[in-house]
Amino acid sequence: MEKPIYLKDSEDAKLFNELRKKVNQRVEAIPENRDIYIQIKAVILPLLYFGLYVFALFNAENAGLYILSFVLMGLSLVLIYLNLIHEAAHNNIFKSKKLNSLVLQIFDFVGANSYIWKKRHIASHHAYPNVDGWDTDIEQSGVLLIVPWIKAKGVQKYQHRFFFLVYPLYLFNWMFIRDFRDFFDNNRVILKTQGAIPVKEKVKMIAYKLFYFFYQIAVPVLFFKVSIGLALGAWFLQVIAASIFALFVLLPLHPLPDNAFPKLDGKNGLPFSWLHHQFEVTNDLQENNWFVRNVLGNFNFHVAHHLFPNYSYAYYNEITEEIEQFARDYGLNYKRFPIATALGKHVELLKQNANNAYFILEE
């Protein structure tokens, strides 16, 4: 199938070249190499995750400490994703692609799959954000409807009433269903951009999944006398905590009623140029403090990431200042909301889609 084609606009191309020049100059004027801080985290955060695991094992007789350690592992897992996995996929941590690839493989040890996630993120989400049928991040599950112009069916008509029961299961779906479907289901979005997946990657995916469940559940039971109930319960709470934390970070950035979900025309053409598309489908968050910048990987500055993915999040503060000014100068649709407002808007999107508001407006 032919891939989507962005609207060709020579003026927009010139605009982006101008913005890129301003951003490059701004970043080059920063004397320090801020990526060193991310490189330090590449050591500290995995040690934190597996340190908590070891701590849990050696305190297995204390059920409260064991459970708390696993819950904290879930939170640290999200920090690993925000600070390391995401940046490694873009080769932004080290100059060496091999070192970035090594960091990316941490994902394989925590229940996900580094190979297919990078393909999803780079070749699908970054290439066609918010484009139904091409962006894996909005691929429909059948339970929740994210794309406004698709008619709600079945339980989707009640999604705004039960979504809070589904979202905590986000990473369970990822571990047990999503990865396997992306590897073996020919109808999945990823195969439109990926093509055939090497057999060795399929074998590695299954092997790492088995190893993950072995050390997470079997090792505590077999070697540290943890009851099966406690082992399963602590692991379950770890994944629940990680799911809620991850979605708290990810949901406010794209799937909002203020952002576009562009439809392809009959020739697979998109209605916006690449530059306008990034502004139309993405928003930033107003929160900008030490914790967000240094612990949460500057996830608040998401427009900068989509426009300049070749820079690490350590430079997004200055890059966003340039983007905001540029958007004001040229009337680009830059959006920024408080995180509580953005999360509320996401719920409103679910409600609108459940009630088929798009079709009501069309009629």
* Alpha-carbon distance values, 199 to 183, 184, 203 (Å): 10, 11, 6
The CA distance from 356 to 350, in Å, is 10
pTM of this prediction? Answer: 0.94
User: Using 50, 70 and 90 to split pLDDT, how confident is the model at 1?
Assistant: low
DSSP 8-state secondary structure symbol assigned to residue 284: E
Q: What is the pLDDT of residue 357?
A: 64
The CA distance from 145 to 211, in Å, is 34
* Percent of the chain residues topping a pLDDT of 90: 93
Establish how many alpha carbons lie within 13 A of residue 323's alpha carbon, considering only the half-sphere containing its beta carbon: 26
pLDDT digits (tens, 9 = 90+) for 219-233: 999 999 999 999 999
* Alpha-carbon distance values, 302 to 34, 182, 254, 276 (Å): 18, 25, 9, 15
Residue 140 has pLDDT above 90, yes or no: no
pLDDT digits (tens, 9 = 90+) for 62-120: 999 999 999 999 999 999 999 999 999 999 999 999 999 999 999 999 999 999 999 99
The CA distance from 267 to 295, in Å, is 44
Q: How far apart are the first and last CA of the chain?
A: 31
Q: What residue has token string 């999604």?
A: 159
Residue 25's contacts (CB-CB under 8 Å, 6 or more residues apart) are: none
The CA distance from 159 to 357, in Å, is 14
The CA distance from 69 to 57, in Å, is 9
Q: What residue has token string 């941590």?
A: 93
User: Using 50, 70 and 90 to split pLDDT, how confident is the model at 358?
Assistant: low
Amino acid identity of residue 113, one-letter, is N
Ramachandran angles phi, psi of 217, nearest 5°: -120, -50
